Amino acid sequence: MVFNSLTFIVFFAVVLLLHSLPLNWVTKKINLLIASYIFYAAWNPPFVILLWISTVVDWYAAQGLVRAQRPASRRAWMLLSVVANVGMLAYFKYGSFLLANFSALMAGLGVDYRPPAYDIVLPVGISFYTFATMSYTLDIFLRRAQPARNFLDYALFVTFFPHLVAGPIMRPTELVPQFAQPRRASSSQLRFGLALITLGLFQKVVLADSFLAHPAELVYDGAAIPGALDAWVATLAFSGQIFCDFAGYSTTAIGVAMCLGFAMPDNFRFPYAAIGFSDFWRRWHITLSSWLRDYLYIPLGGNRHGEPRTYLALMATMLIGGLWHGASWTFVVWGGLHGLYLSAERALRTRFPGYRPGPIALLGFGLLTYALINVTWVFFRAKTFGKAGVVLGGMFGQNGSAAPILDTVYLVTVSGIIAGIVTAHWLMRTRTLESVVARAPTSVLSVTWALMAFAIIISQGTGNAFIYFQF
């Protein structure tokens, strides 16, 4: 079940109705838990079993951590959680990738190894909920959190449908305490939640699917060799598509949770106005960035053991972050490029510690950041290194006088939308959506809301799944 479908609208209306009935709080939580399982089962009912496994294993691992007296016992319980969750990821998400690479290695050594067919369906959202459940046991192991008081609250934390399949990646300390007391949205929360849902669906249905997806597909999925203009416009289109698609999901998820009376953290803060790459990762997929920082970068040494160790930790974290996104070497290269960018930025800051750029320089650095981010998107979007090389060749003028691929209407539409997105991000760079809404006239908000809703309704969408569902 996807947010941008009539099925979800009916589903959410029923959930909202049940949540508003005069039932006791435990019953309402059970209703939410059942609804969350229905939401997930709509894709593939047997995969609910994986949710149960992840939930039960981490619940009992956390209980074992609390009872364990010896350090070895505590490590054993922590490893049980990590092995179970990473094991599921490895089997379902990376099994085929590992097998293919092993076969290639054997072929390189002259061994004719032909593995059996590996036809495994990737469970939707497995990367998200395994990271969420691992954070529960890891935080308890590191003594940063206490276990949930009852199994119902923990199970609801794992399966809560707004964040279940594509984030934000919730920490137990952010959501479990909210289940302790009855929660119901106030009228202002309900209005703002519905507005966020509208904004998120507008980003997904209208901008990402209706305007930006097709130009990117024509270049990245077609056989024609793109020239400089086509390559850049298609890559810019994908930069807008991936933002509107994923930020649209996160915004909708936050709005859905708010309508039920729950708060979820921001996952995006206008990332295309980032000045530098550390700033970008403080604004893009924020909950994943913080997860990688807390559970990978810092345990690998962070910046506490000298510059060489810091650069190694940065590169390892970003390479793993790239692989998290997909079982392909193109994603690893995408993560590696970000690791190189972050390392180069750190080196420059160390070399010029007193440098304070002025407004013009800040704008220049911001546009350079966005341009280099677009280079990384090529590897994120391209299905093969061959296609990535062809697109990069076009972007840097190596494809000669290639025949045009994109019509003028695509060139104009993409340019206008991307210019609007980047401008909006710069205008909102130091602001929050809540503060702008609070100061805006009611008439302006009403008209904007109505126009977005009208655009969603008239868009000829097909309920396309969100891009990050595949991760």
**How confident is the model at residue 336, as a pLDDT?**
97
Peptide bond into 168 cis (omega under 30): yes
- The Cα-based distances of 105 to 116, 117, 148, 349, 383 in angstroms read 16, 17, 46, 40, 21
Query: How far apart are alpha carbons 285 and 170 in whole angstroms?
Result: 12
**How confident is the model at residue 18, as a pLDDT?**
95
Q: Encoding tokens for residue 204? A: 């997904």
Best CA proximity match to 3, nearest among 248, 244, 263, 264? 248
pLDDT of 255 strictly over 70: yes
Query: How far apart are alpha carbons 371 and 368 in whole angstroms?
Result: 5
How far is the first Cα of the chain from the last one, in angstroms, to the nearest whole number? Answer: 16
Around Cβ 151, how many Cβ atoms within 10 Å? 13
Q: What share of the chain is helix, strand, coil (3-state, %, to 5)?
A: 70, 0, 30
The pLDDT > 70 percentage for the chain reads 96
> Per-residue pLDDT tens for 395-443?
999 988 888 999 999 999 999 999 999 999 999 999 999 999 999 999 9
CB hemisphere CA count around 244 (13 angstroms): 27
> Per-residue pLDDT tens for 141-186?
998 888 888 999 999 999 999 998 887 999 888 999 999 999 999 9
**How confident is the model at residue 95, as a pLDDT?**
82
11: left (phi over 0), alpha (psi -120 to 50) or beta: alpha
**How confident is the model at residue 357, as a pLDDT?**
87
Query: How far apart are alpha carbons 324 and 148 in whole angstroms?
Result: 27
16-48 exposure pattern, b = at least 16 Cβ within 10 A, e = fewer: eeebeeeeeeeebbebbbebbbbbbeebeeebb
pLDDT of 84 strictly over 60: yes
Cβ distance 168 to 267 under 8 Å? yes
**How confident is the model at residue 151, as a pLDDT?**
95
DSSP 3-state of 338: helix
pLDDT of 462 strictly over 60: no
Average pLDDT, the chain: 91
> Per-residue pLDDT tens for 332-361?
999 999 999 999 999 999 888 888 888 899
The predicted model scores a pTM of 0.92
> Per-residue pLDDT tens for 184-237?
999 999 999 999 999 999 999 999 999 999 999 999 999 999 999 999 999 999
> Per-residue pLDDT tens for 371-395?
999 999 999 999 999 999 999 999 9
Domains of the chain by residue range: 6-184, 189-463
Q: Tell me which of 19, 325, 338, 425 is the catalytic residue.
A: 325
Query: How far apart are alpha carbons 416 and 46 in whole angstroms?
Result: 44
pLDDT of 470 strictly over 80: no
Peptide bond into 71 cis (omega under 30): no
Q: Is 325 a catalytic residue?
A: yes
pLDDT of 447 strictly over 70: yes
